[in-house]
Amino acid sequence: MKKKIAVINGDGIGPEVTKQSIKVLDAIAAQFNHEFTYEHCLMGADAIDKTGNPLPDETVEICLNSDAILFGAIGHPKYDNDPTAKVRPEQGLLKLRKSLQLYANIRPITTYTALQHLSPLKAKQLEDVDFVIFRELTGGIYFGKKELSEDGNTASDNCLYTKPEIERVTHLAFQYAQNRKKKLTLVDKANVLETSRLWRKVVQEIAAQYSDVTVDYMFVDNAAMQIILNPKQFDVVLTENMFGDIISDEASVLSGSLGLAPSASIGTGAALFEPIHGSYPQAAGKDIANPLGSILSAAMLLDNFGLAKEANLVREAVNWTLANGFVTKDIDPINFYFTSTIGDLISEYVSGKIPDGVN
């Protein structure tokens, strides 16, 4: 199979974790006779430094002409601490999501036996935890009208959703649930927000077309608590943009480290794959960041190409590293391996160079 992948390293640890994913994809390509070519492009603080624009037109062009996009991370403290900055790295990612109509963000939450001790939850609560968050990605308060009064003392962000925006992601989430445990939970704040009541109405209507899927509804404050109290009750969680952003970071700690969580953003054209962690500037350039969030995102990219066997081999390799103590500093601050070493080990594993079970 021949595929063209746009690569956006982005900021902070983005370049070093993405490099490991490319290593792994190259190893997969060699092993299974595929041809993956990569085209690098700019976004985020890196793009602002080089071009003045967080999302140069050329980047959108390259992404539109690719089969998939692999993205690292975005953000820089110099913008975080300057609320008056007019140009911000994150605008690049938001504009890219909108330009490519990446309306559904899929964030799987998995737990690993070898990492249970790192989770804030007890081992018993982590057993059988396996759910997926479907976060609407191109609407809601992120994209509503933003206003700041002239005197700078009043600000507003408008949260807006249309029925078609809710419908398209809802159908995807139901279809996903049909291939899993057949349960869908809509997370909203329908006791307060008009947009949430529209979500509930649309989801109730669509539910009739998926009679094999059980649907329940949960307010987001309760959902935040349930994710910690009883995470195994969830299968597919469907929610709007900002609630999805918040609960997916919360849910990712169940696995033991935010550094492990992958995501796929899909829409009408090429899909984008990125770890859910941020740019972690304190670790940038030190070869200590966890590349697994990115590598597992690359596995989701392979799935998206229809290469399930290849994707599963990457996941098997990741499990193998974790089970054998080949972990980065976020997981074991004393006996840790470097980012690049983990990338090498996973590449070797998928190339068949490390026999199963050998430490």
d(CA 133, CA 164): 20
245 carries an active-site annotation? yes
CB of 277: closest distance to Mn ion in angstroms? 9
**Contact status: 245 vs Mn ion (CB under 5 A):** yes
User: What x/- string results for residues 204 through 243 when contact with ligand IPM is judged by CB under 6 A?
Assistant: ----------------------------------------
Tell the burial category of 211 from Cβ atoms under 10 Å away from its Cβ (0-12, 13-18, 19+): exposed
Q: Please, are residues 272 and 217 in contact by the beta-carbon 8 Å criterion?
A: no
**How far from 48 is each of 3, 81, 88, 229, CA to CA, in Å?**
29, 16, 8, 42
Per annotation, catalytic residue among 245, 287, 303, 330: 245
d(CA 358, CA 322): 13
CB of 249: closest distance to Mn ion in angstroms? 6
With CB under 6 A as the contact rule, the residue among 6, 93, 172, 223 that binds ligand IPM is: 93
CB of 164: closest distance to ligand IPM in angstroms? 21
Binding partner of residue 74 among ligand IPM, Mn ion, none, CB cut-off 5 to 8 Å per kind: ligand IPM
Listed in sequence order, the DSSP H helices in 3-80 are 14-32, 45-51, 57-64, 77-80
User: What x/- string results for residues 269 through 298 when contact with ligand IPM is judged by CB under 6 A?
Assistant: -------x----------------------
d(CA 235, CA 232): 8
d(CA 61, CA 63): 5
Identity of the residue, 53 or 178, whose beta carbon is nearer to ligand IPM in the bound complex? 53
Q: Annotation-wise, does 197 bind a ligand?
A: no
d(CA 359, CA 356): 9
Which residue from 109, 115, 108, 114 is spatially nearest to 256, judged by alpha carbons? 115
Task: Spell out the residues 6+ positions from residue 138 whose beta carbon is closer than 8 angstroms to its own.
Answer: 97, 98, 101, 102, 103, 165, 241, 267
**Contact status: 240 vs Mn ion (CB under 5 A):** no
**Contact status: 136 vs Mn ion (CB under 5 A):** no
**Contact status: 45 vs ligand IPM (CB under 6 A):** no
Q: For ligand IPM, which stretch binds (CB under 6 A), given 88-96, 117-125, 149-157, 300-308?
A: 88-96
User: What x/- string results for residues 189 through 228 when contact with Mn ion is judged by CB under 5 A?
Assistant: ----------------------------------------
Query: What residue is closest to ligand IPM based on CB?
Result: 90
DSSP string, 295-337: HHHHHHHHHHTT-HHHHHHHHHHHHHHHHTT---TTT-SSS--
Helix or strand run (H / E) with residue 108: strand 104-110
Per annotation, catalytic residue among 142, 161, 210, 280: 142
Tokens (6 digits) for 109? 């939450």
At 152 the three-state DSSP class reads coil
Query: What residue is closest to Mn ion based on CB?
Result: 245
Identity of the residue, 240 or 245, whose beta carbon is nearer to Mn ion in the bound complex? 245
List, as residue ranges, the binding site for Mg(2+). 221, 245, 249
Q: Which residues in this chain contact ligand IPM in the complex, by CB under 6 A?
A: 74-75, 90, 93-94, 245, 276
Q: Which residues in this chain contact Mn ion in the complex, by CB under 5 A?
A: 245
Known catalytic residues? 142, 189, 221, 245, 249
